[in-house]
Amino acid sequence: MNTTAKKMIAGAGAAAALLMAASYVTGELVYRFTFPRKRMKVFTNTSGSSRSSIISAIKAKAVASAYNFTHSVPKANSKKSLKQKLKTNIEKSSTSDTPKAISEALPALHVKRALPADEPAYLSAMSRGPQVALVERIREARAWLASLPRERVSIVSRDGLKLVGRFYPNPAGESVQKASNKTILIVHGYRSSGEYDLSCGCPYFWEKGFNLLIIDGRGHGESEGEYITFGQLERYDVVEWCKYLTYRFGQSHKIILDGMSMGCTIVLLATAEPDLPANVCAVIADCGFVSPYGEFRHVLPNMLHLPVFPTLYIASFICRLRASFTTKNVSTLDAVKKIKIPVLFVHGLDDKYVPPCNTKQNYDACTAPKDVLFVEGAGHGMSFLYAEDAYKAKVDSLFAKAGV
């Protein structure tokens, strides 16, 4: 066998090994993105005190790292060419220990921040970051919300899942039958909860006379479901929640949709659905992404240090195989062209997790009555805390347009 043939065989073998490694990593990545609960439970319940302590340490470090990434300002000397970044990412993802390291680190990085046990670690990370002054405001808002009387409510999704939410009738202490004739429906982000993501704005909505309906998305909190589809199925769940409110309180009951991050994407998609009740009269769309495909193209190299190719393409295939959806099937750009009710778009200009250009694209494509607020210095989901007065002024204008 000549030298050229040997080199070709060696090269083919190396390529096959890299593809197998990428497939393994991608399988773990997608499985943990789309099947968060059972997989994480199996992983974190592994016996052995030493292993448990290691996992706890990884969790704390990963939560802090995730926070620092999404809220820190990049250093001036950290600029690299696209070619250099791609080379660095490929080198990082081609080592023999990468598949094992990523498969063990992913459940720590993508923890459910809504779980009480995880909150202290996340707030601890915030306490060490530039948002230290905001920590107490978040805690106070959550405590205020927890003090309100509420009713546990549920519906059944179109594919048979039990979905759970909390309804806070306004005024507090009154029977549900005497509740206000308008409700804010709050939709949380990826692996979070409405009580966390949007709690700081709830007292303001309450003062305006709104009931609050805070729902757990499929695969989150008390709701059933093993898959997170990044808006593809969740949009129909939001439509069903709107139908629930309409059936319960009548067609004159006004509904405002308020979504953050993935929740923002979900409410924009839901608002374009033809069977959305006519009494849904406005949308607050805070820091959402245009499509999961585009978001993954941003997250893979910048947060997970994985090359977009072939990782994302294999991930899309596995999503279709296991959960009957692909990351390319969801986009808000077509949806916002169909929306007829007023929309307020919001985004922090220092958002490193979902780039502000996503909101710019949605705003430009939207043909409905619209307004936009970009907040200087605000990280992901932090716009209300950074510019509360400006945020409230924009929301007041939205409510006036919607007639509520």
| Distance (Å, whole) CA 303 – CA 61 | 14
Look up the pTM and report it: 0.72
Collapsing DSSP states into helix, strand and coil, what is residue 306?
coil
Tokens of 266: 């979900």
Name residues whose C-beta falls within 8 Å of residue 58's C-beta, 6 or more positions apart in sequence.
104, 105, 108
On the question of pLDDT at 389 being above 60, the answer is yes
Half-sphere exposure of 236 (CA within 13 A, CB side): 10
Q: What is the pLDDT of residues 337-366, one digit of tens each?
A: 999 999 999 999 999 999 999 999 999 999
On the question of pLDDT at 281 being above 90, the answer is yes
Q: In 204-355, which ranges are E strands?
A: 211-215, 254-260, 280-286, 343-348
Q: What is the pLDDT of residues 24-69, one digit of tens each?
A: 555 555 545 544 443 333 222 333 443 344 344 434 444 444 434 3
Name residues whose C-beta falls within 8 Å of residue 40's C-beta, 6 or more positions apart in sequence.
32, 107, 111
Widest Cα–Cα separation across the chain: 87
For residues 12-18, give the mean pLDDT.
Answer: 59
| Distance (Å, whole) CA 106 – CA 34 | 12
| Average of per-residue pLDDT values in the chain | 77
**CB neighbour class for 360 (10 Å; exposed up to 12, middle 13-18, buried from 19):** middle
Polymer length in residues for the chain:
404
- Sign of CA pseudo-dihedral 356, 277, 175, 179: positive
C-alpha distance from residue 138 to each of 3, 22, 385 (Å): 66, 39, 9
On the question of pLDDT at 70 being above 80, the answer is no
User: Any bridge partners for residue 167, and if so which?
Assistant: 151, 213
Q: In 188-293, which ranges are E strands?
A: 211-215, 254-260, 280-286
pLDDT of residue 241: 98
pLDDT of residue 139: 84
Read off the pLDDT band of 283 (50, 70, 90).
very high
What is the location of CATH 3.40.50.1820 in the chain?
132-291+330-402
- CATH for 132-291+330-402, among 3.40.50.1820, 3.40.50.1220, 3.40.190.10, 3.40.190.170? 3.40.50.1820
Q: What is the pLDDT of residues 180-231, one digit of tens each?
A: 999 999 999 998 888 888 899 999 999 999 999 999 999 999 999 988 899 9
**CB neighbour class for 261 (10 Å; exposed up to 12, middle 13-18, buried from 19):** buried
On the question of pLDDT at 147 being above 50, the answer is yes
Please count the other Cβ atoms lying within 10 Å of the Cβ belonging to residue 128: 11
